[in-house]
Structure 1
Amino acid sequence: MTWLPRADNAGNTAVHPTRTHAIVVAVERYEDPKWNVSGPYSDARAFISWLVNACQVPEKNITLLSSALSHDRADDGRAALPGGIDLLPADSTTVSRLLQEELTTLEADLLWVFWSGHGLIDTNGEHVLLLADSTPLTKRGVGVDSLQRALQSKRVGSHQGAGVAKVAVAINACQNQPWIDHIAKTELLVSHTYVTDRGLFVLHACSTGQKARVAPRDMQRDGTAASLFPRMLLRYLDDGSADVLPDLLQVSESVDAEFVRLRQAGLTSQTPSTLRRNWSGKTAVTGTFAHPPTEREQRLADLLCDVLPNARIRDACAQRLTAGVTAVVRVSDDSETPTVEQLVTAAARVHHGVPTLLDLLPSLPEVCFDAEHLSELRAAAEDLRPDEFLTGGEHVELVVLLASLDIEDLRILAGYDRRLRPHLPSMPTDAAHLVRAFEAAGYRTDAASMPILLRFVALVAAEAGSPTSTTANGLRAWCDRVAGRLRLAPQTVSAHWSEAVLDAARRRCETAWILIEVTIDDPEADPGKAAYACSAWLLDPATGPQRLDYPSGYFTWRQTHQLVAELLEPYIAVRSVDLAVEFFLPESHLELQVERIPLRHRGADNVHLGTIVPVVVRCAHRHAGRRIPQQWTARWQECGKVSTVSDEQHWLVHDAADLFSLRDALVDRPDVGCVELIGGHLEFTPALVCCVQSGVPVLTWHRRLDDRRPGGDLSHLRRSVPPSRLPEEVRQLRADTSTWSEAHHLVLLWDDPQRLPPRLRLRTPGRIASHDRHR
């Protein structure tokens, strides 16, 4: 038979048999002989026969963990197994090693897990599968919840779990609660943060409190399953299609319907159940669940007894609970009304069930309780499910809102908040799984805290766009409702929301600027030889301009270096967004080497400012008035255009010594956005003033140093860097001396007519006596 690709009802392509692996467990013989049972080995052989013979799964892809009874057979029944199957003992050591170590290199589209043997419900309400090394004094087993976490963990599949796409599980084991002195559970050591979003589908032979029926020994036939559930399951799995992964939802519904007919005929009381199917990102529950309440569940149930005193109220509670979450409430055999314990255990075993149960209580008829009683209920509920605080409705609403956003990767966005990073899933995931991961971080009840999930929602809403955005407003309303239900302080939520909005504005605007205006006492002095006074502002795109504290008075240029460094160092060290520094210099001092101001940065002294952050220079005189000539706007717009020809049409390269020719060239080339000054002239200031007065907003040139100027041109910048990115490009050139040895002498004059510095009242400096200067 040749395998041909097919598609299920959902349009998913069938899994190839050679990409299918299976773990089959059959536990018949125990170290405590009283627990020996006949049938699981036959169940395992029938399941393996379907995989190999019907679906063409290679024998080497199947691992069998078995402790079979011989039943007085000479060959122990093992001759019926295909020869290539790996046979291992079904004890706790093997199971632990297999799930934690030996599956880490597995590459598979599908991993089938079939388990047949004894099972029970322990005193904590967990379903436990017993292993072959169970002794008369100690029963050894593995919890089904731990098994599911292990099968969804990074330890299963290569590339941190990415090597296995889906896992299908069928468990044929009882779920009753016999008296057991002690159960030693095999610890699989899988934390919540280690679990991936791998698809999982789990089928159980029975519901809580029931036994899985096994055919009597004399009615077991070779080649067929001995237990009722595997026999029914294989009937619908082996439909002749040779598909190793048929539509399991349809298969489970067919098995359920078959068991309904058997129960109606009085042939069995067994009810199969499906605890989880989340290949489509959703969780569904079928079957009946009557878990005995754990100690924490009983505490919540005791507190609810007075709140839900009669059958009518409990029945209304059960109906609204199942409408809010997929919770199946088992009712007693002699009554159609659930008990309080049944309501609590049903809610505790589905996602968001407990918060939903408490949230619906105030809306029930004839229910009343005081604030103290409500506080006790909430405390008991938080203790019961500390990793969940959303109700079912809140979870669905949030996932829908997040899915409607036009944000490509929410994980990258969440990384902006350092408190969210430790809770990010390691693998790419969708909105529903991100919400689950952040919700699992929990929340504190103190008024000053902000739950991780609500921090994430505020971050996403702030990034969603304008305050008028429908989705952003929906997220804000959702956040306020949840915060109110959790009794979080409104001022805490509001403060964090405002902080998120400011951070988002900073990210959108990319750069914050520190503006430093330099004034001089003697305009006729050479650059660096006068006395200087400074005023500084922080222009934050989120908060607007604010005046920075700078010492008053006039200082030498060397002293000015130190004062500017003391001003800038704290901002450079702690800024969470990009920062640039802009100097406004007088016309006669445009060649001050401000980019060479030394700072202490990351433990190193005398690091040039221009190698740390973008540094640009503007002419202070240009902005003495408020009028913006049209030529400035036109030339600035030219800077945003991309040159499509080889002659770099938006640049003018000119000798700084020939001022008359430079003026004529600027008049003849109104399309020029940038000018590069070249030549060996010692004094560049007249050429700089000429360019500023002509409205050239961006200017690069080689700086005079010790009466000499480095040679070469800036063609690599003209050809490859848009003018708007020149500040950052120049900073990188200065920082990377191996790229260009002359980068430290490169200076950028920048003038944006669309952004003026803050207009604050400054006293007009006059000439002061030399003995008053701090030289």
Structure 2
Amino acid sequence: MAEPSTTQAILVGIERYADSNAIPDLNGPVNDVYRFCQWLRYRNVPPENISVFASPLDRNTGIVDEITSLINSKPLEATKDIINKALREEVRKKTASLFFLFWSGHGWIVPQGDRRLIYADATMEDLKNLNLTAQLNAMQTDLYNNLPRQLLIFDACANSQLLKITPPDDLPPIGKHLPSQQQMVMLAANPGEYAINKGDEQTGIFSRELLNELNSLKDTEIWPPDLESVMQSVQRKFIKLREDKQTRQTPSYLLYQDWSGNRKERFSEIEPATKTGKRDSFPLPRNLTIQELGLLRDLFLQCQSMQDPQSRKDIILNLRKEIANNIIMEGNANSVVLSAIKTSRGYSGGLAELLDVIDMLYENDSVAMQNLRKATIQMLPEEFPLECC
């Protein structure tokens, strides 16, 4: 039976990356780590059993001081070598009735389908990352038999638009499959989706709703809480958030085996927001005037990435397959940009997706990108409900 006193926890919050020009900052992961620390301490997990790894923005160093006071130790850097040592070596030397892992930061899915999480010391030339899929598999083996019950929470994107290549793996050792391992994984987003971080609130939407649910539980004697019920409540909240156009993401959870020893598969109360639908499954966009189309084209072409044939191709190939396959990629910049605008608008959220991909892969919130986004939202607010709500 799990007890707070014998729970071991690792929490990771990464807001700043080594290559901040290419990998955007986040304002929220360190605060979410702090709030999870507060919840663990409220539930009587000893401070010495909580290890924190953080890469804060300068403005959030005060939160790191609060974490230090809460757990009586200073958070370590969230770099590859330091986290790998904790996750693949040190934690295997400890015995715990429950192992708790929370990670908030950038993530993506590679073409082969593996989920990846980016370390703080990553650059685009050396994209240091944790192969989350492989790590979860490793933790289901006898190498982690000292951690028979695992609760693992990840607030990170699961889209495939960061890059098309697959970086070299730094795979964990894999032991012998251990059927008795009980592992529950909570994920902020389904494959293909972004996990929204609210910088103004200093939180990820998933972390916010999950913590609200955990803090609202009246029965504080049960450890861990009824996590299936908690996650189902969170999913119901996201149905409302999606209806209110505050997010497109779809939290889900995986049970390798539940706390009663029953083998279970994936659960998801709501369909993924990125589920492919027919082109006519949403209201058709209004027709642009020649003047409006010309203005959008010119703003797109002010972005350096849209002037270069190779970067234009990379951007298009990172769009949803059904969108990318219908855009004319060959030809001059003018014709390709016009095709991208017209085609993306034929799919729900397509134009917003096009802007996000351009920004994420190449523009990094450049002045030209800011002008493009502002003008597009003003011209077509109905196609950008998240930005306009």
TM bracket, shorter-chain basis:
0.5 to 0.7
Distance 1:70 1:283 in 2: 43
Matches within 5 A, 1:141-156: 141-156=129-144
Match of 2:103 among 93, 102, 115: 115
Determine whether 1:78 maps to 2:64. Answer: yes
Contact 2:110–2:166 at 8 Å: present in 1 too? Answer: no
> Which residue number in structure 1 is paired with residue 365 of structure 2?
none
Q: Which residue type is aligned with residue 332 of structure 1?
A: G
Q: Map Cα deviations across residues 87-140 of structure 1 (whole Å, 9 max, x no partner).
A: 322222123222322122212110111110000111212111111111131211
Q: Shift of residue 281 of structure 1?
A: 2.9
Alpha-carbon contact 1:200-1:277 (below 8 Å) kept: yes
Alignment match, 2:254:
275
Tell me the alpha carbon deviations over residues 618-671 of structure 1, each in whole angstroms, 9 at most, x when there is no partner: xxxxxxxxxxxxxxxxxxxxxxxxxxxxxxxxxxxxxxxxxxxxxxxxxxxxxx
| CA deviation after TM superposition for structure 1 residue 171, in Å | 0.6
**After superposition, where does 1:600-611 map in structure 2 within 5 Å?**
none
Q: Does 1:40 align with 2:29?
A: yes
How many percent of aligned residue pairs carry the same amino acid? 26
Selected match of 1:169 from 123, 144, 152: 152
**Residues 153 and 86 from structure 1, CA distance in 2 versus in 1: closer, same or farther, beyond 3 angstroms?**
farther
Cα root mean square deviation, aligned: 2.6
1:165 offset after TM fit, Å?
2.4
Measured in 2, the distance between the counterparts of 1:207 and 1:40 equals 19
> 2:251 corresponds to which letter in structure 1?
P
Distance change >3 Å, CA 38–CA 184, structure 1 → 2: farther
Counterparts of 1:235 and 1:333, CA distance in 2: 36
1:190 is aligned to: 174
Tell me which amino acid in the other structure corresponds to 2:56. Answer: A
Residue 81 of structure 2 corresponds to 93
Contact in 2 for aligned 1:256/1:272 (Cα 8 Å): yes
Superposed CA offset, 1:478-537 (max 9, x none): xxxxxxxxxxxxxxxxxxxxxxxxxxxxxxxxxxxxxxxxxxxxxxxxxxxxxxxxxxxx
**Partner residue in 1 for 2:214:** 237
Residue equivalent to 1:51: 40
Q: Determine if contact 2:241/2:247 at 8 Å carries over to the other structure.
A: yes
**Is residue 12–residue 103 contact of structure 2 (8 Å, CA) maintained in 1?**
yes
| Match in the other structure for 1:206 | 189
Between 1 and 2, higher relative CO (CA 8 Å, sep ≥ 6) is seen in 2
Q: Partners of 2:265 and 2:134 in 1: how far apart?
A: 19
How far 1:258 moved relative to its partner? 0.5
8 Å contact from structure 2 (residues 50, 71) kept in 1 = no
Secondary structure at the counterpart of residue 261 of structure 1:
helix
Instruction: Using the TM superposition, give the Cα deviation of residue 60 of structure 1 relative to its aligned residue in structure 2, in angstroms.
Output: 0.3
**1:24 alignment partner in structure 2:** 11
Structure 2 CA distance for partners of 1:130 and 1:329, relative to 1, 3 Å: closer
SS at match of 1:189: coil
Question: SS where residue 132 of structure 1 aligns?
Answer: coil
Shift in CA distance, 329/260, structure 1 to aligned 2, threshold 3 Å: closer
Cα deviation, 1:60-101, whole Å, max 9, x if unaligned, reads 000112111122x6x542221114246322222123222322
Instruction: Work out the CA distance in 1 between the residues paired with 2:196 and 2:33.
Output: 15
Letter in 1 for 2:279: D
* Structure 2 CA distance for partners of 1:188 and 1:86, relative to 1, 3 Å: farther
Structure 2 counterparts to residues 483-502 of structure 1, below 5 A: none
Q: For residues 115 and 87 of structure 1, do their structure 2 counterparts lie closer, same or farther at Cα, with a shift above 3 Å needed?
A: same
The answer to whether the 8 A contact 1:208-1:289 is kept is: no
After superposition, the Cα gap between the structure-2 partners of 1:110 and 1:83, relative to the gap in structure 1 and judged at 3 Å, is closer
State the aligned residue count: 273
Residue type at the aligned position of 1:79: D
Structure 1 spans left out of the alignment, 5+ residues = 1-12, 221-225, 291-327, 343-775
1:283, CA displacement in angstroms?
A: 2.2
Deviations 1:443-465 (A, max 9, x none): xxxxxxxxxxxxxxxxxxxxxxx
Tell me the CA shift for residue 329 of structure 1. 11
The counterpart of 2:118, out of the listed 107, 130, 140, is 130
1:213 Cα shift?
0.8
| Deviation for aligned residue 1:146 | 1.3
> What is the DSSP-based 3-state SS (H/G/I as helix, E as strand, rest coil) of the residue aligned with 1:164?
coil
Give the distance between the partners of 2:180 and 2:189, measured in 1 at CA: 26
Distance of aligned partners of 1:120 and 1:184 in 2 relative to their CA distance in 1, 3 Å threshold? same
Q: How far does residue 16 in structure 1 lie from its aligned partner after superposition?
A: 1.7
Residues 28 and 185 (structure 1), Cα distance of their counterparts in 2 relative to 1, 3 Å cut: farther
Q: Tell me if the contact between 1:169 and 1:201 (Cα under 8 Å) persists in the aligned partners.
A: yes
- Residues 216/88 of structure 1: CA separation in 2 closer, same or farther (3 Å cut): closer
* Residue 228 of structure 1 pairs with residue 212 of structure 2: no
Deviation per residue, 1:317-337 (Å, 9 max, x gap): xxxxxxxxxxx994436378x
2:208 counterpart SS class: helix
| Residues 68 and 155 (structure 1), Cα distance of their counterparts in 2 relative to 1, 3 Å cut | farther
**1:23–1:114 CA contact under 8 A, matched in 2:** yes
Q: Is the 8 A contact 1:51 1:244 kept in 2?
A: no
SS in 2 for 1:65: strand
What's the secondary structure of 1:123's corresponding residue? coil
CA distance in 1, matches of 2:274, 2:263: 20
- Write the letter of the residue equivalent to 2:120: A
In structure 1, distance between residues paired with 2:103 and 2:168 = 19
The correspondence of residues 222-621 of structure 1 with structure 2, limited to 5 A, is 226-238=203-215, 239-242=217-220, 243-279=222-258, 280-287=261-268, 330-332=275-277, 334=279
**TM-score of the aligned structures, taking structure 2 as reference length:** 0.64
Give the corresponding residue for 2:295. none
Query: In 1, are the aligned partners of 2:135 and 2:171 still within 8 Å (CA)?
Result: no
Query: Which amino acid letter does the alignment assign opposite residue 263 of structure 2?
Result: K
Shift of 1:153: 3.0
Higher CA-based Rg: 1
Supply the distance in 2 between the matched residues of 1:135 and 1:177 (Cα, whole angstroms): 18
Looking at structure 1, the residues matched to 114 and 131 of structure 2 have their Cα atoms a distance apart, in angstroms, of: 7
The residue matched to 2:11 in structure 1 has which SS? Answer: strand
Matched AA of 2:205:
L
SS at match of 1:135: coil
CA shift digits 1:12-52 (9 cap, x unpaired): x6x32101111111111111113222111011111111001
Change (3 A) 1:145 1:182: closer
Kept after mapping to 1: 8 A contact 2:193/2:274: no
**Structure 2: gaps spanning 5 or more residues:** 282-320, 323-389
Amino acid at match of 1:252: M
Shift of 1:195: 4.7
CA contact (8 A) 2:148 2:180 kept: no
